[in-house]
Structure formats: C-alpha cells, structure tokens
Chains A and B, each alone.
Chain A
Amino acid sequence: MSKNNSTVIFLLPWLWGTTLLIVLPALAMFGLAFWDDGKFSVGAFQRLLTSNLVSISFYNSLFFLILAVPARTVGALFLALLLRPKSHRVARVAVFAPSVIPPPAWALIGLWLFNPLYGPINMLLTGIGLPGINWLVDENATRLMFVILAAFQLGEGFIVLLIGRAMLPEYLIDAARLDGAGRFGRFWYITLPLMLPWLALLTGRDLLVSLQGTFTPSFMITYGGPYYATTFLPLLIYELAFDFRDPALVAAVLLVLFSAVAGVCLWLWQKVVDHG
C-alpha cells in the first residue's frame, strides 16, 4: 500500500494543530525552567526544593494519586468484568453516567453531598450511629472527599477495560475452565495477566487525568483549603503562573511533573513488555 503524498493533508490539521497548541507551548514552558534573568540557570529547581508551598502541593498530589488511581483502575476492572454480560446494560449505563457530568456541576453536587452539617453523606453516617466526618474542615477528610469524587468518574477506564476484556483470546479462558480452573483461578492466572497491558495503559493515563481533574473541584469548592490541604499541583500552577513573580518555578514544577508521569509510564511499559 503506497502512501500517496497528497493524502498527508488529512494528517496535517491534527499534527500541526497539536504542535501549535500543545507541543510548542509545553516546550516553551519547560524551557522557562532554565531561564533566569535572561540567562541559563537552575535556580528555579533550587527554589523548588526549598519552597514550602511546592512540597505541600506535591505531598497532596501524591496522597491523592496513591488513593484515587488504584480506586479508579481497580474499580473499573471489577466493574468491567462484573458487568460484561449483555443483560447488565442498565448497570453499565448507570456506572458511566457520573462520568458524563461536567466538572463544575460535579463539583457543586459534591459540595452538597459532602456538606458536613446538612449534607446527605453525614446524615447517612449519623443515621446509622457513626460520627459525621468533618468534610471540608478536616484536611485529610477533604482530601478523601476529592478521592471519592474522582473515583465515581471512572467511566473512561471502565470502557477501556470492557474493550480490553472483549479482545482477549477467549479460547485460553475456556481451556482453563475445561481444565477445572475455578472462577478465581481463571481470573488470577489467565485474565489478569492478559489484561496487564490495558491496565498499564490505563494507570499511566489516569495518573495525569485524575490529577488534572482535581483542578475544577479544588478551584470551586475549597480553593486549595483548608490550610492548603487541597492545593494540588494543577491549582498551584494556576496560582503561580498568572502571578508573574516566578514563572521559572512554575516551569520547574511542571517539568518535574511531566518527567514523573512519563517516567512512570515508561516503567509500566517496560514491565508489561517484559511480562510478555
């Protein structure tokens, strides 16, 4: 099949558009990390290491990711496997529905659900005899709230894993069943290893997606509070970037973030490739 040169024109809008809107601004931003007062400098990275706000923000983001990404990925896997049969159509629609809610609307719904005084969640807790949780007031509870809000919106992962499971060679699983392997055995020894590439892909992407997804709720509900507990990296970057005191610091933070995400993705990719 020959590649006709003139058909390249169909590739170009995406290619050039993405270069102009994403690649060039990102490169310029990363470059800014090394630019101080008109000359090359790594001062921004030194400031990064000593800045309290930056380390709080990294801590918050890490806390969030360690809880939210497994919740979303494992949750999506469980649901994709549970709801595979055609008859569970309504449940599949229900599971995907919260993910369709636009971020600002979801933030406002969260604001109500987690209201510590009048909200339904605390009402339910006190109704069954448990103490209400100090959402929005206690730092860890507020971070947990963000994790829960993120966990409900696992629709994208759900679909990816539905597809992934559907693309597995069924005969391997059938052979295991014929050999007498039980449900769990089939899952653990056959299904799960085969789904690892999909899980790796999903995890890598989800690190970024869920972290970026904290921006709207942290902006609208808490604005980084209480006491900076929900100042995740995207919000920090917003706050610093448009206050031109230290764009190099912002750039350094972004470069570290990008390197970390890319690093994790590469590491996951290696593991999957090795696993075969």
Chain B
Amino acid sequence: MAKVGLRRVLAAVVAVIFLLPLAVGGLASLLPTGQVATQQLGVPFSVPFDAWGWQNYAEVFQTIPFGQHLSNSFLIVILSVPPSVLISSLAAFFLTRSQPPWRTWLVAFAIVTMLVPPSAVWLFRFQLLSQIGLVDSRLALMLPALAGGSSLFVLIYFWAWQQAKADLFEAADIDGASFLQAWWRVALPLVHPATAAVTLLAFMLFWGNFIEPVLFIYNPDKYTVPIGLQLLNQLDASNRPLLLAGALIAIVPPMLLFLVTQRWFLQGEWTR
C-alpha cells in the first residue's frame, strides 16, 4: 500500500520537474521588457496582472518578419511530413516482407546510416545542392523527405511490424493482395503507434531543423522559424522576455501535434 503511494508521489514530482522549464519560460515571456534588471522568478510573482507583457508576443512579429518565417516553416513541414511517413513506411514494409540475406543487409544499411555524424554530410551535400542549383531554396530543406525523412523512421516501422502477427501478411498474400493493398489494408492499421510516432518525429525534424537553413538559405524571404529565433537572439539578446515569447510561439505547433498524437504511443499496449 505504501509502495503504491510512494510511486504516485514520485510520478507527480517527476511530472512537475519536467514541466517546469516550459512553465517558467512561459511565465518569463510575459515579463514587461526592461523589467529584467532584477532577480525575479516570473510573471505572477512580481508583476500585477494588468502589467503582464502580452505585447511581447506582438513585438516578436515587429522585430523580425516572424510571420513569414512561420509560413515558410509550415510550408516545408506540410510538404515534407506526409512523404516522409509514406516513403519510410513503404520501405519498411518491403523490408518486412523480404528475406535474409537482403533483409539483414538493408537493416544494417539503415543502422549504419543512422550512425553517420550529421556534420559529415554538410560539406558535400552543399556541393551537391550547388551542382543542381538548389542552394537557397526551400526545396533543399525538403529533400530528406524524399528519402523517407530518416532511417530511424524506417526502423521504427520495421520493428513495429516485427511485433505484429506475420501470418496476417501471409493471409493477404494468399488472397492475392498486391503490395500496396497489403500495406494499406492489413499492415498499416496494425501499427498506429508507429505512424503516430513517425509523424511527430518527422514534424519535429523538419520544424526544428536549425543547421540546414543556416547552411543552405541566404534569401531572408525564405528564412524558417529556427533562423528567426536566432535573428531575435542576435538583434535583441538582452531582451529575454522577447526571446522567450518567440520561443514559445515556435513551440506551439509541435506541442499541439504531440498532444494530439501522444495517445497512440504513450498509452495503450506499451503500458501495463
């Protein structure tokens, strides 16, 4: 009995600890600017409600063209996430239906490509993009989607299908279903947690990508949200509430998607 109580207390403590950074950051974003010359925890404690700095959020859009950054980022994400999910899931289904030794080699390929330090590909990917004239284009940022986003997504789907019943796939084969039919009607519905996880991870990958826009984009019209945040950081570094307001705005889309999809992979079969 006491053990159950202890566990519950621990869980609550853990939850609070992990929510603190976001909460404190959010509260601090509402500090009226110019107030951060004294030590203070955040908004409710030292600032009356009518003096809360809601205008900080508007000021973000006045300091940098954040609206344009947001629309660039949304464009990239909307065009990149569905192909990533599709391509990685189809490739993984192919893997699932293939036999060793092919399958072993392909899984090894997936794992090895995940071990390559991302920094190793910057230079030559830049060269590649210049050759095909795609430097300074948003398309350059979407290219990984055509490769399925990341080998991790392929592996997630592959492992999910490994857990599913193999005989279902054979049944589909006997019925004469094509690859696509088996994939769409039999295999995919079995792995909703994987689809939810990959969708979220793909969104996070394309939304939060910082280094690639820094390397490949020079036209300010095409800047994305991460660049916008760095611009804020450079233009007005001491205005911390403003920076936090920008950060909070950037956090909203992935966080909303997370809250919607978490029910598929944070609950259900993987919990007791």
Contacts and interface: CB of A to CB of B under 8 A. Distances in A.
A102 B207 CA distance: 7
B91 interface: yes
Interface string A194-238: 000000000011001001100110011000000000000110011
Interface in A224-276: 233-234, 237-238, 241-242, 247, 250, 254, 257-258, 261-262, 265
Contact of B99 (A3, A13, A109, A122): A3
Contact of A86 (B144, B265, B271): B271
B124 A25 contact: yes
B18 A97 contact: yes
Contacts of B225: 102, 104
B19 A97 contact: yes
A258 B270 contact: no
A69 to B, nearest CB: 15
A175 B40 CA distance: 54
A171 interface: no
B270 A162 contact: yes
Contact of B120 (A3, A30, A163): A30
A28 B113 CA distance: 14
A163 B271 CA distance: 8
A88 B124 contact: no
Given A4-B179, A105-B248, A105-B251, A11 B91 contact: yes
A55 interface: no
B233 interface: yes
Interface in A75-118: 79, 82-86, 88-98, 100-113, 115, 117-118
A13 B148 contact: yes
Secondary structure call for the B interface: helix
A242 to B, nearest CB: 8
Contact of B119 (A103, A238, A265): A238
Interface size class of B (residues with CB under 8 A): 35 or more
Given A14-B87, A109-B21, A258-B116, 18 more contacts: A3-B99, A13-B146, A17-B148, A25-B121, A29-B120, A84-B272, A97-B258, A100-B200, A104-B247, A104-B250, A111-B240, A123-B40, A204-B115, A205-B115, A220-B229, A238-B211, A262-B112, A265-B115
25 contacts: A1-B169, A11-B106, A17-B148, A21-B125, A25-B123, A29-B121, A82-B11, A94-B18, A96-B262, A97-B255, A100-B258, A103-B226, A112-B25, A123-B39, A123-B40, A159-B197, A162-B266, A208-B117, A215-B211, A216-B210, A220-B233, A238-B211, A242-B215, A254-B119, A257-B117
Interface of A: 1, 3-4, 7-8, 10-11, 13-18, 20-26, 28-30, 79, 82-86, 88-98, 100-113, 115, 117-118, 120, 122-123, 126, 152, 159, 162-163, 165-167, 183, 204-205, 208, 211-212, 215-216, 219-220, 233-234, 237-238, 241-242, 247, 250, 254, 257-258, 261-262, 265
